[in-house]
Structure 1
């Protein structure tokens, strides 16, 4: 693989999907797969094997005319590059955009590439190449669709990514967790009204990332996308509703989430790398599909790096901002990949008082209910390196003194361990018991005051400044066997 990667500050931000894909291709990070790869399992298998190394582009998958792309946001460094900042400034750049959103700018239909082609009364499965990913998935799933809806009371939009099972010509089942879209739908359903939605597939990397921002209920993530772009995002009104969508999108599915209707959805392989159960979910009735001429379909392979990073980086930015409001000495945070980018948080602090890490742990658990384990380390530990974090736990943590356990707290409903030991003869536990979890915090910090060098991290002076290229004599060879022969000349 060509590892040549241009300096991020000279190339970004990338505000157009096709320009970003072209950039990956030009720098050896796009694999073009042979034509006709099956949409059922094989496409996802190839994308998974390339995960974090190269994005994958699939021409004519399953004989479909619309190509599929996957994995174009599967490394943290790539995401920083797309934003146009060094990796160390990634969270701060995202925070700045979330704090200073830019209102979008509406354009007419004739200026919106996403409405160049319009389909009505067509089978979604014929129009779009929707893959089936994991072994036990109950059919094809849209996994990279931005679901955009308007608050029935205020008209302000929300953007999220939800898994959507395409199970008939014009019906799709959707999983809504208890967040903003779910709240919008509950309000609409209480009025016996459908909730208008748009499912946007194929969008620039910055808007894709902005869709995952942890923002208040009446904050439109498309405005955060505009701030990341450095200019108001162009949007267009849907043909069948008042929902506004990014005008430069590849594909838009317009529809309505029906009141009082539930249909079977699942099982589906989710981000914890387990399957969620088959249950009855809310249903989207498709009204129209619009797209660019020659569109590109984006799919995310569940539980792989593109999936995990898109969820974890916006959460990290939000968690860091939340913690620094009360603890300015919090320096950095990281949602570990081993904790599926959601459940395990590492926090770096410059410790000033004994007991302070435990306060930080409690504040972190209050910031997001998904968190299950929090480890606090000192400022000499790199939180993005799990080996360093484990070293801190091994040498600075004692369970009888430094462990915090909180029982019976709200956790992730997608964590299968939360239902262990519960016996529900009718299948899934009732909603009010789903995700009931224990939380664990580990204070892996050294004492503020300690004797001499007991807790001083070992280092060799000048190790950071060594230029190995200059130090190594690549022209010289030593004949070790000759030097070891008795009587040989030195």
Structure 2
């Protein structure tokens, strides 16, 4: 019996090799500056190519960036067609695969108990007004000591000292775990994992109940258990194949200044008193790679957007069978604007879907619901539906005084207003009023059989009455539409 091969995204180094073979990996000159240089090059290549930076700023550890900066790349990593990506992720969230533990992990080939973050890691400074160097692609793994339940998430982590990090913890599961420990006057053991495979990166962003370990979603995406290992100084389990692991504690009753930092809304998260992590040990591979995500870049946006779409779709379909598809638009920072496609909603149901969408996650600010004939992945289609099917006095939903994103600068520390647009066809509308125009047979036309790029004598051929147009435009082996 032969085992099913793992998706190409199940290995960081395997994924980089795959990108190289397909012409999507760029190797820079050595010694690109850690301050703005790495981010500048990565942004210029954003969505085109992943980047490898040898000896960045003279540091011996190379940096990689831009691993997942296209929606299609995420589908490739998971081994599915782009149209199947959300369904695949949704299935992984619903059917997690428990991890498999090992005591022989590449991520612990070298162990450092004397930690100096900026000497041991090539940590870049990305945007102009960032306070300094930030770890941006670190998976923060927290473990409840009483139940062993883990949570995986990504937070911006400011280097505040040789073994000290400032952390922005938004009101989600990591903060809930920490609040339990802080009420007892105790620290929360954590690990920060840098340099993991694309599937684990994607899994870390799943929106699932608090008792779900996102590492098990990674196992489901790969079709096999993710191999994990116990940390050296605490009981947190981390991916065994990771490049670096920072083992430490979220400190109880300690807050220190953190920020500003360039965030996904394309603005800076402000400076404020925030949580603090103390690092007790650093473990690594013998020849590691350091992954960084440039704040506000495509990798940043899509990593948060695609997994959330799958989670939101699953959540909404449980309550509303008419829901068919969802999309978090790039113009809405892949967080704030949600488009929802419905099939034959009942009277008033579209507005219920809007309210249900607000409840999926506090980040959702504007929801637009459309009919099955509108492609929610095409912003022009959605705008067309709003332009021709929406009337504000009839179809607008406004929820004032609600919790939103603290990173949205238009809110008062996250307190703001949400808006829904019902851009579906009114259920009592006459049949022809909203019937879309259509040319019968248009999609079945084979362009390569009826047309070709115009030759130099196009005018003579176009006005010739002695031969059929199709014969005049016969394709050669080197001409044709692709």
Scaled to the shorter chain, the TM-score interval is over 0.9
Among candidates 410, 421, 429, match of residue 450 of structure 1: 429
How far the C-alpha of 1:329 sits from its partner, in A, is 1.4
How far the C-alpha of 1:41 sits from its partner, in A, is 0.8
The corresponding residue for 2:54 is 59
The corresponding residue for 1:5 is none
3-state SS in 2 of match to 1:333: strand
How far the C-alpha of 1:153 sits from its partner, in A, is 3.0
Task: Give yes or no for the alignment of 1:44 onto 2:23.
Answer: no
Task: Give yes or no for the alignment of 1:239 onto 2:218.
Answer: no
The runs of 5 or more residues in structure 2 that have no matched partner are: 464-482
Whole-Å separation in 2 of the counterparts to 1:479 and 1:214: 57
Which stretch shifts more, 261-270 or 135-144? Answer: 261-270
The corresponding residue for 1:424 is none
Whole-Å separation in 2 of the counterparts to 1:247 and 1:284: 22
The corresponding residue for 1:203 is 196
* Cα distance, 1:217–1:80 mapped onto 2, change above 3 Å: same
The corresponding residue for 1:115 is 108
Q: Is the 8 A contact 1:10 1:84 kept in 2?
A: no
Task: Give yes or no for the alignment of 1:435 onto 2:414.
Answer: yes
The runs of 5 or more residues in structure 1 that have no matched partner are: 1-8, 420-433, 485-490
How far the C-alpha of 1:468 sits from its partner, in A, is 2.9
Q: Is the 8 A contact 1:409 1:436 kept in 2?
A: yes
Which stretch shifts more, 151-160 or 37-46? Answer: 151-160
The corresponding residue for 1:166 is 159
Among candidates 387, 394, 403, match of residue 396 of structure 2: 403
Task: Give yes or no for the alignment of 1:360 onto 2:339.
Answer: no
How far the C-alpha of 1:152 sits from its partner, in A, is 3.2
Q: Is the 8 A contact 2:6 2:223 kept in 1?
A: no
How far the C-alpha of 1:356 sits from its partner, in A, is 1.8
Q: Is the 8 A contact 1:104 1:235 kept in 2?
A: yes
TM-score, normalised to structure 1, is 0.91
Whole-Å separation in 2 of the counterparts to 1:88 and 1:18: 26
* Cα distance, 1:21–1:155 mapped onto 2, change above 3 Å: same
The corresponding residue for 2:74 is 79
The corresponding residue for 2:440 is 461
The corresponding residue for 2:339 is 346
How far the C-alpha of 1:473 sits from its partner, in A, is 2.9
The corresponding residue for 1:383 is 376
Deviations along 1:350-385, whole A, 9 cap, x unmatched?
124232211111111122111110001111110000
How far the C-alpha of 1:478 sits from its partner, in A, is 2.4
What does 1:317-328 correspond to in 2, within 5 Å? 317-328=310-321
The corresponding residue for 1:426 is none
Deviations along 1:241-278, whole A, 9 cap, x unmatched?
11110000011111111112222110111111111111
Deviations along 1:438-480, whole A, 9 cap, x unmatched?
1111011112353353211122222223333443335844254
* Number of residue pairs matched by the alignment: 461
The corresponding residue for 2:14 is 19
How far the C-alpha of 1:221 sits from its partner, in A, is 0.7
